[in-house]
């Protein structure tokens, strides 16, 4: 990789050593590349969106199925992301600054939606896990770099005082992003601790409560989207909001065909505008990222399996 911004895209542009060299010798290349990036509308003509998520590592969440360090190799993760972003129907990516900057320097974010992950301070398994502090993208940086939106994890545990600070910070981020006409993607969960471990409550009533709280955050809801889990009785759950919503893929378990069928049924609900999927697409059981992504893209944009 040269010390100027790469012009090639995707897997072919991945020179792992070159990325480090460029970061060390010309850090200003990142700001220049954001300024020069070709952007696209948030939604395509069909009003739907498929995003690939890659913000798990910043919370120390590296596991996929039985492999506790599946996401530990950055070169491997970038190859998988580049493959996913090269497939038709993939609209963009959700990631932390380090991941988005790598993809940017590879040329993989041209004409793609880029969503910045704002709060990664609640590290997986930590005593302070529910203290979801904002340690990633700021609203000001998102606006300055032309990033298309900001996502915030907002877990609510009525027994944990840290939830109050998380709610306040999320509300502030919603307000600041909306002031610049930029999407705020709120990912709420009603949560609790069981045997010292944080558990998100994924029953319909708990999900509804999380939606109603998240929908009211910030001074305006004009640019607020929700990122929600696929749960039982989803039509009743989605009746709790008029906000456009993307469904998350979650931690992949079981037969992928069952997961795809569940996504397909969910996408028929009017408030559901698409999917945000990470590990289920990037680390499929058979290793074929392109095939998994193509199935999801077909479900979101029509003509899927």
Residue 200 lies in a domain: yes
Residue 2 lies in a domain: no
- Beta strands 149-156 and 183-194: pairing type? parallel
Question: 3-class SS at 42?
Answer: coil
pLDDT at 214: 98
Residue 161 lies in a domain: yes
H-helix or E-strand containing 294?
helix 289-301
Residue 5 lies in a domain: no
pLDDT at 13: 55
Residue 24 lies in a domain: no
d(CA 286, CA 15): 25
Could you list the residue range(s) of the whole structural domain that residue 167 is in? 29-301
Residue 165 lies in a domain: yes
Residue 10 lies in a domain: no
Which residues, including other chains, have CB under 8 Å from residue 18's CB and lie 6 or more apart? Answer: 1, 2
Contact 218, 224 (CB under 8 A): yes
CB burial of 160-198 (b: ≥16 within 10 Å; e: otherwise) equals: bebbeebbebbbbbbbbbbeeebbbbbbbbbbbeeeeeb
Alpha helices in 14-120 (DSSP H): 16-25, 28-36, 74-85, 97-106
pLDDT at 256: 76
pLDDT at 14: 64
- pLDDT tens for the chain, 305 residues long, are 333 333 345 555 568 889 999 999 999 999 999 999 999 999 989 999 999 999 999 999 999 988 999 999 999 999 999 999 999 999 999 999 999 999 999 999 999 999 999 999 899 889 999 999 999 999 999 999 999 999 999 999 999 999 999 999 999 999 999 999 999 999 999 999 999 899 999 999 999 999 999 999 999 999 999 999 999 999 999 999 999 999 997 666 667 778 888 888 899 999 999 999 999 999 999 999 999 999 999 999 985 44
pLDDT at 302: 86
Q: Considering its fold, how many domains does the chain have in total?
A: 1
pLDDT at 260: 84
pLDDT at 261: 85
Residue 21 lies in a domain: no
List the CATH number of the domain containing 266: 3.20.20.70
pLDDT at 303: 53
Kindly report the pTM of this predicted structure: 0.92
Return the ∠ at Cα 10 (arms to 66 and 100), rounded to 5°: 70
Phi first, then psi: give them for residue 239, nearest 5 degrees.
Answer: -65, -10
């Amino acid at each position: 990789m040269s010390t100027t911004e790469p012009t090639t895209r995707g897997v072919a542009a991945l020179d792992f050593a070159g990325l480090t060299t460029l970061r060390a010798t010309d850090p200003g290349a990142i700001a220049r590349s954001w300024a020069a990036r070709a952007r696209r509308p948030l939604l395509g003509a069909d009003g739907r969106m498929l995003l690939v998520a890659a913000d798990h590592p910043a919370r120390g969440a590296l596991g996929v199925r039985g492999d506790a360090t599946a996401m530990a190799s950055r070169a491997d993760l970038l190859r998988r992301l580049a493959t996913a972003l090269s497939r038709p129907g993939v609209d963009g990516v959700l990631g932390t600054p380090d991941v988005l900057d790598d993809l940017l320097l590879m040329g993989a974010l041209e004409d793609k939606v880029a969503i910045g992950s704002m709060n990664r301070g609640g590290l997986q398994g930590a005593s302070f896990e529910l203290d979801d502090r904002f340690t990633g993208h700021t609203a000001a940086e998102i606006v300055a770099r032309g990033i298309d939106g900001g996502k915030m994890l907002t877990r609510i545990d009525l027994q944990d005082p840290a939830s109050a600070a998380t709610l306040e910070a999320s509300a502030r981020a919603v307000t600041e992003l909306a002031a610049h006409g930029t999407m705020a993607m709120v990912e709420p969960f009603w949560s609790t601790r069981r045997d010292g471990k944080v558990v998100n409550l994924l029953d319909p009533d708990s999900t509804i409560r999380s939606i109603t709280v998240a929908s009211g955050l910030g001074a305006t809801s004009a640019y607020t989207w929700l990122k929600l889990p696929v749960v039982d009785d989803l039509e009743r759950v989605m009746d709790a909001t008029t906000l456009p919503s993307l469904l998350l893929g979650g931690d992949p378990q079981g037969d992928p065909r069952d997961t795809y069928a569940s996504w397909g049924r969910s996408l028929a609900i009017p408030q559901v505008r698409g999917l945000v999927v990470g590990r289920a697409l990037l680390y499929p059981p058979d290793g074929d990222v392109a095939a998994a992504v193509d199935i999801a893209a077909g479900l979101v944009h029509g003509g899927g399996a």
